[in-house]
Amino acid sequence: MPKQEEPIIWTEAGLKAIRATGRRETYPDPSTPGLVLLMTPTGQRTFYLVYRFPRGRKGKTRWFKLGKLRVDLGLKTARDRAIILRGEIQNGADPQGDRARKVEKAVTVKDLCARFTAEYIATGKVKTSTGAGYQRYIDHDILPAIGALPVAAITGDHVAKLLASVTKGNAPHLKATLSRLFSRAHLWHLRPGLDNPVVGQDSAQGTRREVRLSETQIVALGTVEHPWQAAAMVRLLLLTGMRVGELVGSRPGGIQQRPWATVDLDGGVMVLAPEDHKTGRKTGEKTIYLCREAVAILRALPRESGFVLGGWANPQGSYAAMREALPVLRGTTLHDLRHTFASTGDSLGVSPATVAALLGHAARSQTGRYTHKFSPELAAGAQVIGGHLAGLLA
């Protein structure tokens, strides 16, 4: 227990007045045996009943959660519950074990998935496209395989078997879905005392090595002319490091294309609202810096509609056709254009922080000092990288 300038007063006001120390601290109630107030490093206060089961020195210490101070219950209620439970424990009861068995019997993975859909996906806690991906893996893979099993019974072996049952390309996405699903199960107290079964799974399973296009492959991209939307797409993705979804939908009928209204050719930028890019929830508005060559490409495009690519939305199919027509591109993907932009910046001596900010990485440590303002340093970095790549395309 930390040293306090004043003794702890076991009243609700006194417990509320305890200052957070930056560490987990426990405060036993002097008048109620076994009742403990646990305070987290951030100052959250929760009552627990601490006891041994079976009774005696050979028993294991159990922490039975009673509830949060002033959120779930007050001090008097906590003391009353602790006294009642201690009487039951004297007669052989095991409250923590009974709670775990009740949860294991009552809640299945199917129940967890239904709650995850209703309280996490449907309430907008994730982007619509991300939620749709979670739901797809829940419906097609998770429910058929483990939906009938109790949440508390799922182990790492279940997860490993499930990951091995899908293609290598789908394994990382399924793993991410399972990880988020069981993180929610932990927060909802559906797996008391148990870890997330996804933790420790082989993260390399199904992972594709990122590819940086060679100069020969970049030159080949520069020969693409038709359709004009596909030609403009690959050039702009390469010269800006944009994600495919930030410029054009990832599939027909997918994400809406970039409207001309978000493009400032005189200023040399595109400005994406938070809902228009992957990390918008964390980083807010995103500015895409355009090198002079990217601006020239955009100025030359026809203005047939309000969108940069004129209503066209077939990026993956078009790139597949390019790979078929240009064998040198086989084995590459559209996302490799973004990786090529980043790798080129590294090789040209552009600072990692600048490259990260140009790409729009979500980590604040990488992008924080550039957020929400025009940066001459970023504009200069974009020109160094984009100008070099444009020279290979020409």
Question: pLDDT tens, 316-338?
Answer: 888 888 988 888 888 888 888 99
User: Omega into 302 within 30° of 0, i.e. cis?
Assistant: no
Q: At 275, which amino acid appears? A: E
Nearest by Cα to 248 from 235, 259, 238, 261: 259
Q: How far apart are CA 117 and CA 21, in angstroms?
A: 37
Angle at 264 between CA 260 and CA 267, to 5 degrees: 170
Single pTM value for the model: 0.54
CB 103 within 8 A of CB 151: yes
Residue with the two structure tokens 């290598």: 168
pLDDT, tens digit, 9 for 90 and up, residues 353-388: 888 888 887 544 443 444 444 588 898 999 999 889
* C-beta separation of 34 from 53 below 8 A: no
How far is residue 297's CA from residue 393's CA, in Å, rounded to a whole number? 12
Given a cut of 50, whether residue 137 has pLDDT beyond it is yes
Q: Which residue from 324, 192, 299, 307 is spatially nearest to 255, judged by alpha carbons?
A: 307
Q: What are phi and psi of 235, to 5 degrees?
A: -65, -45
- What does the pLDDT look like over 76-111, one tens digit per residue? 999 999 999 999 888 888 888 776 665 545 688 999
Q: Is pLDDT at 225 greater than 80 in this prediction? A: yes
Other CB atoms within a 10 A radius of the CB of residue 297 amount to 17
CA R_g for the chain = 28
170 sits in which H/E element: none
* Residue 80 to residue 32: CA distance in whole angstroms: 9
233, 309 in Cβ contact below 8 A?
yes
Q: Where in the chain is the domain with CATH 1.10.443?
A: 215-393
Q: What is the mean pLDDT of the chain?
A: 83
Domain(s) labelled CATH 3.30.160.390 in the chain stretch across 12-93
Question: What local confidence, expressed as pLDDT, does residue 59 receive?
Answer: 82
DSSP 252: T
Other CB atoms closer than 10 Å to residue 302's CB: what's the count? 10
291 Cβ contact partners less than 8 Å away, ≥ 6 residues apart? 239, 240, 268, 382, 383, 385, 386, 387, 390
Q: Which two tokens stand for residue 383?
A: 């020109």
CATH number 3.40.50 given to 106-187: no
Rounded-to-integer distance, Cα 352 and Cα 354, Å? 5
Q: What is the mean pLDDT of residues 56-65?
A: 85
Whether residue 218 has pLDDT greater than 80:
yes
What number does CATH give the domain 12-93? 3.30.160.390
To the question of domain 215-393 being in CATH 1.10.443, the answer is yes
Per-residue model confidence as pLDDT tens digits over 158-209: 898 898 888 877 888 899 999 999 999 888 888 876 778 888 777 544 455 6
Distance of alpha carbon 64 from alpha carbon 98, whole angstroms: 10
Alpha carbons 148 and 221: distance in angstroms, whole number: 50
According to CATH, where is 1.10.150 located in the chain?
106-187
Cite the DSSP H helix spans in the chain. Answer: 12-16, 75-90, 95-106, 109-116, 128-137, 143-146, 156-164, 171-187, 215-221, 228-240, 244-247, 280-283, 292-300, 315-325, 335-347, 352-359, 364-367, 376-393
